[in-house]
Amino acid sequence: YRGFLINILNPKLSIFFLAFLPLFVSSSPISPTLQMVFLSLVFMGMTLGVFILYGISANGVRHYVVNSPKVIRRCQRTFGIIFTGLGAKLAFTD
């Protein structure tokens, strides 16, 4: 619920549609508003499809990572090295 409200109230999407989509509306359409709505629906459908693929892919990777202690250990070591490097960089900055 909260995530939905944050996304709906985010002005970036509205600015995108108002700035980018009119470039693809033909110069003499019967109804420019209808064409904008159609283009918006196509964009939203494509975005939904991409997010579904992201979710399916993430689920597959999660099963691989969770069931492999070797991968978990490597991830923990990699994150440890990265955080140690970031801490050292922070310690030596002015």
pLDDT at position 73:
94
Distance of alpha carbon 43 from alpha carbon 37, whole angstroms: 10
Distance of alpha carbon 62 from alpha carbon 72, whole angstroms: 11
pLDDT at position 29:
67
Joined together, the tokens standing for residue 16 give 């995108």
Question: 38 near 25, Cβ under 8 Å?
Answer: no
pLDDT at position 35:
87
Query: What residue ranges do the domains of the chain occupy?
Result: 1-92
Read off the pTM.
0.59
Distance of alpha carbon 17 from alpha carbon 73, whole angstroms: 44
Q: Which residues of the chain have pLDDT under 70?
A: 29
Query: Residues with Cβ < 8 Å from 36, sequence gap 6 or more?
Result: 17, 21, 22, 25
48-75 confidence digits (pLDDT tens): 899 899 999 999 899 888 899 999 999 9
